[in-house]
């Protein structure tokens, strides 16, 4: 079950909790990876809390593609903590790309602020997301969601580990049991920068499902959207063209809470997929064929829907990778 990874025999989380290392195999339990992911998120949370009520230093990557000094500080603290605990693992951040041992079986993927535009405007939700892959498969993750308002921020912590379930503030949670789109609350997201054909197709889907369901929300933070499906307050979420750091932790939250995640065309999902449909499982049957048709049309018109943003030197192949 656990592949051998060279680690020190016992590592301490900052809260003093002993992180047990499987002495025989020299590998780490998924539950302990989750504890480190949670602590890494807490450290990112602290950076954000310190900045949240102060003016932002914003850099424009594009007209509507923002990054703040807090994104950079949060990533440094989060991945610095992970690298201190697991110097032999690989790490991938939204701001810094791949670092550490890219050849390791383990890759930690961090979004230091998921929902940067929301954060810039002090408009919740926004989050820190940390997911851990073992040979490409998500095995542990944590997402800390900010809610509230200036001067009164509060957070919710979602965690999961493979085979162990999904937790909200330590309490086990599961997806909803809704099987009718008509009675469902759905979520989507869309690119703020690229407004080409995939974006237009997503707007068609937004209209379609707004008409057929109780509503479609757009929060602006994919990790939180997936966490909301996982804990059953939303029934399904889809989005095209988001990156591995947006979905690495959320993917496991959903599956460990009993949900289903595929690419929108129904093909096998990976965190490097270019489209994502996460549902309580029951809704997949009615939603997925409509998504599949939309993606087919896009592909027929020459749009690539294969995996993307695969960092150089990744030691495993992702589904659909040529």
- 94 carries a ligand binding annotation: yes
In the bound state with ligand LIP, the residue whose beta carbon lies nearer, of 133 and 221, is 221
Distances (CA, A) of 243 to 2, 110, 249, 273, 286: 27, 11, 12, 8, 25
Q: Which of 93, 124, 141, 189 binds ligand LIP (CB under 6 A)?
A: 189
Distances (CA, A) of 152 to 53, 146, 149, 180: 9, 10, 5, 37
* Active-site pick, 36, 109, 113, 187: 113
**Are 265 and 294 a contacting pair, CB within 8 Å?**
no
- Residue nearest to ligand LIP as judged by C-beta position: 189
Q: Least separation, in Å, of the C-beta of 238 and ligand LIP?
A: 10
**Are 144 and 41 a contacting pair, CB within 8 Å?**
yes
- 304 carries a ligand binding annotation: no
DSSP 8-state class, residue 120: H
| Per-residue contact string for residues 103-142; x = within reach of ligand LIP by CB under 6 A | --------x--xxx--------------------------
> Does position 145 bind ligand LIP by CB under 6 A?
no
In the bound state with ligand LIP, the residue whose beta carbon lies nearer, of 21 and 109, is 109
Dihedral sign for Cα atoms in the order 241, 246, 248, 251? negative
- 246 carries a ligand binding annotation: yes
Instruction: Assess whether 113 carries a catalytic annotation.
Output: yes
Contacts of 300 (CB under 8 A, 6+ apart): none
DSSP 8-state class, residue 269: P
Q: Least separation, in Å, of the C-beta of 187 and ligand LIP?
A: 9
Rounded distance between C-alpha atoms, residue 109 and residue 99, angstroms: 10
Beta pairing, strands 260-262 & 215-217: unpaired
Rounded distance between C-alpha atoms, residue 180 and residue 186, angstroms: 11
> Does position 250 bind ligand LIP by CB under 6 A?
no
| Peptide bond before residue 254 is cis, with ω within 30 degrees of 0 | no
Instruction: Assess whether 188 carries a catalytic annotation.
Output: no
Q: Least separation, in Å, of the C-beta of 16 and ligand LIP?
A: 31
In the bound state with ligand LIP, the residue whose beta carbon lies nearer, of 19 and 222, is 222
* Active-site pick, 38, 95, 111, 134: 111
Rounded distance between C-alpha atoms, residue 254 and residue 267, angstroms: 17
Q: Tell me the backbone φ, ψ of residue 245, rounded to 5 degrees.
A: -70, -25
Q: Which of 141, 220, 232, 307 binds ligand LIP (CB under 6 A)?
A: 220
Instruction: Assess whether 233 carries a catalytic annotation.
Output: no
Q: How many residues bind ligand LIP (CB under 6 A)?
A: 14
Q: Which residues are annotated as a binding site for Mg(2+)?
A: 94, 111, 113-114, 246
Q: Which residues are annotated as a binding site?
A: 94, 111, 113-114, 246
Query: Which amino acids are annotated catalytic?
Result: 94, 111, 113-114, 116, 246
Which residues lie near ligand LIP (CB under 6 A)? Answer: 111, 114-116, 189-192, 220-222, 239, 242, 246
């Amino acid at each position: 079950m656990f592949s051998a990874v060279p680690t020190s025999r016992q590592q301490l989380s900052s809260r003093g909790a002993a992180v047990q290392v499987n002495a025989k195999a020299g590998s780490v339990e998924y539950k302990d990876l989750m504890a480190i992911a949670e602590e890494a998120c807490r450290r990112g949370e602290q950076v954000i809390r310190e900045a949240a009520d102060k003016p932002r230093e914003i850099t424009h990557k594009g007209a509507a593609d923002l990054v703040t000094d807090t994104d950079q500080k949060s990533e440094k603290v989060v991945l610095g903590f992970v690298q201190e605990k697991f110097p032999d693992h690989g790490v991938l951040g939204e701001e810094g790309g791949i670092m550490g041992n890219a050849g390791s079986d383990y890759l930690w993927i961090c979004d230091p602020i998921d929902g940067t535009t929301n954060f810039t405007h002090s408009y919740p939700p926004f989050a820190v997301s940390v997911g851990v892959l073992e040979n490409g498969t998500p095995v542990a993750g944590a997402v800390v969601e900010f809610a509230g308002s200036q001067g009164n921020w509060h957070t919710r912590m979602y965690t999961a580990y493979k085979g162990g379930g999904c937790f909200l503030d330590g309490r086990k949670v599961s997806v909803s049991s809704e099987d009718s789109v008509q009675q469902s609350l759905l979520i989507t997201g869309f690119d703020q920068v690229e407004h080409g054909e995939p974006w237009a197709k997503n707007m068609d889907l937004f209209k379609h499902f707004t008409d057929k369901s109780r509503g479609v929300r757009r929060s602006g933070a994919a990790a939180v959207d997936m966490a909301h499906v996982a804990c059953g307050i939303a029934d399904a979420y889809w989005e095209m063209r988001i990156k591995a750091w947006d979905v690495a932790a959320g993917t496991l939250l959903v599956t460990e809470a009993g949900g289903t995640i595929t690419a929108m065309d129904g093909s096998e999902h990976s965190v490097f997929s270019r489209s994502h449909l996460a549902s309580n499982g029951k809704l997949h049957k009615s939603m997925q064929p409509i998504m599949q048709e939309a993606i087919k049309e896009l592909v027929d018109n020459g749009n690539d829907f294969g995996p993307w943003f695969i960092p150089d030197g990744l030691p495993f192949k992702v589904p659909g990778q040529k």
